[in-house]
Structure 1
Amino acid sequence: MSLRPKELSARPGTPDEKTDVVSDVLETLRFKTLLFGRFEMGAPWALRLPRKVNASFYVVTRGGLRLQVEGLEQPVFLSAGDVVLLPRATAHVLDDGSRKVPRDFIPPQQLRAAAGTDVRLGGPGATTTLITGCFQFGVDPTHPLLRSFPPIIQLSTQDASRASSLAATVQLLSAETAAPGPGSALVVGRLADVLLVQALRAQALLAQPGEAGWKALADPAIGNALALMHEQPGTPWTVERLAAAVGLSRSGFAARFHSLVGETPLHYLSNWRMTRSARWLHESDDSLEAIAERAGYESAPAFSKAFKRRWGMGPGAYRRTPAPRVTLPTSIDT
């Protein structure tokens, strides 16, 4: 593919101008918040949740609890103001922590019946107030940033770096679920979206050196390369051009990108183009030729071949499938 003059002059943006990769990923992948419940739990109590399709999250607004995630040796203890996200939807147990081994689990049907009511579950002891819900991604949940999630992400208001913003979100979420009014479903959904973004920010900061995925965003060169690919997916990027744009040698850039992202630059770019194209097909009436050009392909046939290889169907057939819809939270999924 020939390079056009305006493309040859592409330069990485300044820190204030470059594309926000996290926002772009979340917006393009069409994440949505599903299924809410607010529960008053009296000790002793215990909940056993099976593995799910969607990522679960919990917000503790009063009291405390113990969380044991399948596959992890040590439990996690949460107190008022804490938030926990289980990105991999792993099976887990929640309880008040009063017994060495949780027992007498509250039946799922009893939990479902109590969602959105003032019914207290469990025993007569200390009360824990728990808000719960799920996140779902409508397009391409195999993105490298999503694959790199750990089994559990915990946010605490005891962490000075995020205490004020997290506390404000938790407080608003608690108030809205305690006394719902007109539009509460929408407000609660947006607040939960904020919690997810706060969790992702924390993960980017906490990722260990050499850990593929979120650590890439904190790396100046690789972070800029990702921003360029997200900002200009149709530009005919090569490894050489990306390396030059961020001030690295070709070999150094390729090795560093693979180490931090978990795949090669061109593999990442190809998949991202297909993800963006899937959304363009559902949200615009643009011709296949126009979308192919936006995605960096010389012709509609070349684009169609790549699209079918990625999604298992051609772009025309994909356009005729129902688009992922954002739904408002309704009830707790057990």
Structure 2
Amino acid sequence: MDALTPLINGLNLHAKLLYSGGVCGHWLMDHNSETSVWFHLVSKGQGFVHSPRWLAPLALNTGDLILFLPHAARHFLSYSPEHLPDNDQNTRLTDWLDGEAAFVCGEIKLAAPKSLLWQALPAEVVIRGDQAGDILAKLIDLVIAESSAQRFGSDSVVERLCDSIFVLVIRYCIEAGLVREGVFAAMQDKRLATVLGLIHQQPWYPWTLAELCTRAGIAKTPLSDKFAELIGYAPIEYLKAWRLQIAAHWLLEPDMTVEKVAERCGYDSVPAFSKAFKRHFDQPPGAFRRNGDSSS
């Protein structure tokens, strides 16, 4: 298994569909978040992104996809490149057929949006319909077809397709050279990818640096140097950070408690888990859980 698949699976990342349909009038979308990845797929017509990221409003056309990570600048989508409404009072939501433009919009909630893992990705990712590549382009076509048809279960189908779109977007960023540091960049090195795959697939195994080096066929010093250069952690430090990333996502699950997460993570006691968690996230797990519940 590659290093990316268990990373996505380990964090249990899923897209949540928040709107699929048409818009009319002097419409405005204000979808900014400090904790979520927002994605917008133009399924019909045209829209414009107003953001300090671009000197002029960015035009999006049918088949174009844009993602905003939590570290993106504040932005808005609107009907016009010249006019940015003050609010969304004149936005009229319609079905796909009646809309002047139409979108599939959703979010992917991140438990630790400020982690080096996500900060290494571009704050905004724009993929034009003719740049997507065969697989992503076909998936986008499927999303547009399903969202425009509005058959039984369409929203559920679109939501699951968007899970795959997010994975393909990360692959696109890696293969297009849009990430030059961090875990995703390290995946481009075959031996580092092997080590990351082992860590992501078996985070609770008692890995040692020696065993990771043996499995990847690399000496300790080069492995440690490459990890420090690209990821900012030593290999075993990254393992500990990865475990806490998983724990953070578990804490956001409604039926989980701090005690259950500490036990799952293999800590001897809640205080030991809380100490490690606070050291990494600058807040204890109980506060993290409460803050996550309030922001969802």
* Fold match by TM threshold 0.5: yes
Most deviating of 271-280 and 227-236: 271-280
Match of 1:131 among 104, 114, 137: 104
For structure 2, the 5+ residue unaligned runs are: none
Paired with 2:83 and 2:102, the residues of 1 have a C-alpha distance of 20
Distance 1:37 1:115, change over 3 A: farther
Query: What is the Cα deviation at residue 203 of structure 1?
Result: 1.1
Supply the AA of the counterpart residue of 1:155.
I
> For residue 231 of structure 1, what is the aligned residue in structure 2?
201
1:155 aligns with 2:127: yes
Q: Superposed, which structure 2 residues align to 1:77-116 within 5 Å? A: 77-88=59-70, 90-95=73-78, 99=81, 102-105=82-85, 107-111=87-91, 114=93, 116=95
> 1:123-152: CA deviations, max 9, x gaps?
xxxx54333222213x44444332212111
Q: Superposed, which structure 2 residues align to 1:1-334 within 5 Å? A: 18=1, 20-34=2-16, 35-41=18-24, 47=28, 49=30, 51-53=32-34, 54-73=36-55, 75-88=57-70, 90-95=73-78, 99=81, 102-105=82-85, 107-111=87-91, 114=93, 116=95, 120=99, 127-137=100-110, 139-159=111-131, 162-207=132-177, 210-277=180-247, 295=265, 300-301=268-269, 305-310=272-277, 312-313=283-284
Distance 1:148 1:224, change over 3 A: same
The DSSP-based 3-state class of the residue aligned with 2:50 is strand
Paired with 2:114 and 2:11, the residues of 1 have a C-alpha distance of 10
Paired with 1:109 and 1:55, the residues of 2 have a C-alpha distance of 25
Tell me, yes or no, if the aligned pair for 2:24 and 2:94 is still in contact at 8 Å. Answer: no
Identity of aligned residues (%): 22
Tell me, yes or no, if the aligned pair for 2:23 and 2:94 is still in contact at 8 Å. Answer: no
Q: How many residues align?
A: 283
Tell me, yes or no, if the aligned pair for 2:247 and 2:261 is still in contact at 8 Å. Answer: no
Supply the AA of the counterpart residue of 2:163.
D
Distance 1:52 1:224, change over 3 A: same
Tell me, yes or no, if the aligned pair for 2:146 and 2:154 is still in contact at 8 Å. Answer: yes
Paired with 2:223 and 2:55, the residues of 1 have a C-alpha distance of 37
Supply the AA of the counterpart residue of 1:179.
A
Paired with 1:115 and 1:222, the residues of 2 have a C-alpha distance of 49
Paired with 1:290 and 1:51, the residues of 2 have a C-alpha distance of 30
**RMSD after superposition:** 3.7
For structure 1, the 5+ residue unaligned runs are: 1-17, 121-126, 328-334
Tell me, yes or no, if the aligned pair for 1:38 and 1:132 is still in contact at 8 Å. Answer: no
Query: What is the Cα deviation at residue 94 of structure 1?
Result: 2.9
Query: What is the Cα deviation at residue 215 of structure 1?
Result: 1.0
Paired with 2:88 and 2:175, the residues of 1 have a C-alpha distance of 36
Most deviating of 32-41 and 264-273: 32-41
Paired with 2:51 and 2:215, the residues of 1 have a C-alpha distance of 43
> 1:266-304: CA deviations, max 9, x gaps?
22100222334566787999xx89986x85x6x624x85
Query: What is the Cα deviation at residue 25 of structure 1?
Result: 2.3
User: Which structure would you say has the larger RCO, counting Cα contacts within 8 Å and 6 or more residues apart?
Assistant: 1
Distance 1:57 1:174, change over 3 A: same
Tell me, yes or no, if the aligned pair for 2:120 and 2:179 is still in contact at 8 Å. Answer: no
Distance 1:136 1:208, change over 3 A: closer
The DSSP-based 3-state class of the residue aligned with 2:187 is helix
Question: Which one has a bigger Cα radius of gyration?
Answer: 1
> 1:40-75: CA deviations, max 9, x gaps?
457xx5636263242221112333443233344465
The DSSP-based 3-state class of the residue aligned with 2:15 is strand
Paired with 1:180 and 1:29, the residues of 2 have a C-alpha distance of 30
> For residue 15 of structure 1, what is the aligned residue in structure 2?
none
> For residue 124 of structure 1, what is the aligned residue in structure 2?
none
> 1:65-119: CA deviations, max 9, x gaps?
432333444654433222111122542133456x5xx2252732443x5165765
> 1:150-183: CA deviations, max 9, x gaps?
1111223323xx4332232222222222231221
Query: What is the Cα deviation at residue 187 of structure 1?
Result: 0.8
> For residue 6 of structure 1, what is the aligned residue in structure 2?
none
Tell me, yes or no, if the aligned pair for 1:69 and 1:75 is still in contact at 8 Å. Answer: yes
Tell me, yes or no, if the aligned pair for 1:37 and 1:115 is still in contact at 8 Å. Answer: no
